[in-house]
Every structure is written in C-alpha cells, then in structure tokens.
Amino acid sequence: MNLKTKIALIGFGKMGREIDALCRESENFEVVSVSYKNITDKLDLKGIAKADVAIDFTSKDIVLENIEKVSRLGINMVIGTTGWHEDLDSVKKIVKKYKTGLLYGQNFSAGANIFFKITAFAAGLFAKFSEYDAYGMEIHHKAKLDSPSGTALKIRDEIKKNSPYKINFTSIRAGRNPGFHEVVFDSPADGITLSHQAYNRTGFAKGALLAALFLKNKKGVYSFEDALK
C-alpha cells in the first residue's frame, strides 16, 4: 500500500524545484503533478485532483486564480506565495464555499518563525524606553517581485502587537540572497541589531511539506504558526 502523501506542485521555479528535490529523497511524499513548468502552461487540474495537497509557490498575479480553481476541485492547498494577503478575506470565503483546507505563511522556515517571536519580544522591552526607535532592512535576490517581503510585513505586524513601533523596512533587490531580515533598536546611547539570514531554500521547502502533512485531512484556513504548534 502506498502511504505517501501525494503532492501537486503549482509553480516550478526556485521553490517548486526545491520541494520536488526533497520529495524525491523522501519516503513520505510523492509529487503527482506539476503545474506551470513554464509561464505559458495551464493548471494541471487532472493531476491536481489526484493529490492530497497542492502546494503553490507562484506569484501574487496568479495565486488567487489558482486558489479558486483548485479549491473548486475539493483539494487542500498550502500557499507559500506572498504578496496577496490583503485578499485573505476573499480567500476565506472561497475555502468556506468549497469546504476545503488552506494554509498560508509569509515564511515557512523554523528559524524565521522564531525570529518573529524574538523581535516582537525585544520590541516589547524597548518600548518601555522612549529614547529607542526601531527600523528594519531586508535583502533578497534580484528576481523577487514583492517588496517589502512578506517576511518583513509579518515582522512588522508581530512587532506592532507588542509595541507602538511602526517599523519601516528598506528593501534591497540584488544578487542571489535567498532572504536576509534585520531589525535595529536604536537610541542616542546604544543599539541592538537582530538579524535572520536564510542560507538556502531548504528550510522553506521543509516547512511547506510540514504544512502539507498538517493540512492533509483538515478543513478551514490555517496559518503556518498553527502547523508549527
């Protein structure tokens, strides 16, 4: 009996290929469908219908269309694509309508999720001292489309929950960096700099597969934090 979790990959760029490579080495996952090997391809709806979970790493321009079409098939989705979260309410309606499951996250690496908590905690401490200010900086490879990154927006939102800081991020798009985020707490007397550097895309890909396992037989909308718990 084949007990592997069947994965449909939507998007076969840097992240899609990384997840495919992990699945090939894994006894727990099998890729049964790949959509958008090229931007001119259509969604492989026949293949996706055979999957336990579809994982979307495409772009903000196509992700909402993908969510509508795949949810209509009754297939659960992990959404790694960023830059669309202002449409979360309409996505929730789609998931409710088709009684499926969907999990989304700005950053699927364990280290980045710990970084969210560390920066939010630090902000709470610094906010007690009026002389401190906070700001951020992020660097990504030159092909990244959204700016600031979804991770930067998540850091900003988490910090806002704990402090009055409205963090502005400076974004650099150049070179090959898979993701660097820095938060600085600064005063006339001293400062603390906290940073997270992704060395490659393996952490994101592992997180996406963890999310797929979590979501396999669930209904409703979840964030990556739910899977980490």
Catalytic residues: 140, 144
Say how far apart CA 17 and CA 209 lie, in whole Å: 13
Please report, in angstroms and rounded to a whole number, the separation of the first and last CA atoms in the chain: 30
Which position has the token pair 């006339």?
A: 188
Instruction: Determine, following the binding rule CB under 6 A, whether residue 116 of this chain makes contact with ligand NAP.
Output: no
Instruction: Bin 126: left if φ > 0, else alpha if -120 < ψ < 50, else beta.
Output: alpha
Instruction: Determine, following the binding rule CB under 6 A, whether residue 83 of this chain makes contact with ligand NAP.
Output: yes
Instruction: Determine, following the binding rule CB under 6 A, whether residue 57 of this chain makes contact with ligand NAP.
Output: yes
Instruction: Determine, following the binding rule CB under 6 A, whether residue 12 of this chain makes contact with ligand NAP.
Output: yes
Cis peptide before 148 (omega within 30 of 0): yes
| Beta carbon of residue 44, minimum distance to ligand NAP (angstroms, whole number) | 12
Instruction: Determine, following the binding rule CB under 6 A, whether residue 108 of this chain makes contact with ligand NAP.
Output: yes
Structural contact between residues 221 and 95, judged by C-beta atoms closer than 8 angstroms: yes
In the list 28, 39, 90, 96, the residue contacting ligand NAP (rule: CB under 6 A) is 39
Q: Which of these ranges, 81-89, 114-122, 158-166, 210-218, lies near ligand NAP under the rule CB under 6 A?
A: 81-89
Instruction: Determine, following the binding rule CB under 6 A, whether residue 113 of this chain makes contact with ligand NAP.
Output: no
| Beta carbon of residue 114, minimum distance to ligand NAP (angstroms, whole number) | 14
Instruction: Determine, following the binding rule CB under 6 A, whether residue 148 of this chain makes contact with ligand NAP.
Output: no
Instruction: Determine, following the binding rule CB under 6 A, whether residue 15 of this chain makes contact with ligand NAP.
Output: yes
Q: Which residues bind ligand NAP (CB under 6 A)?
A: 11-16, 36, 38-39, 57-59, 61-62, 80-83, 105-108, 143, 146, 204
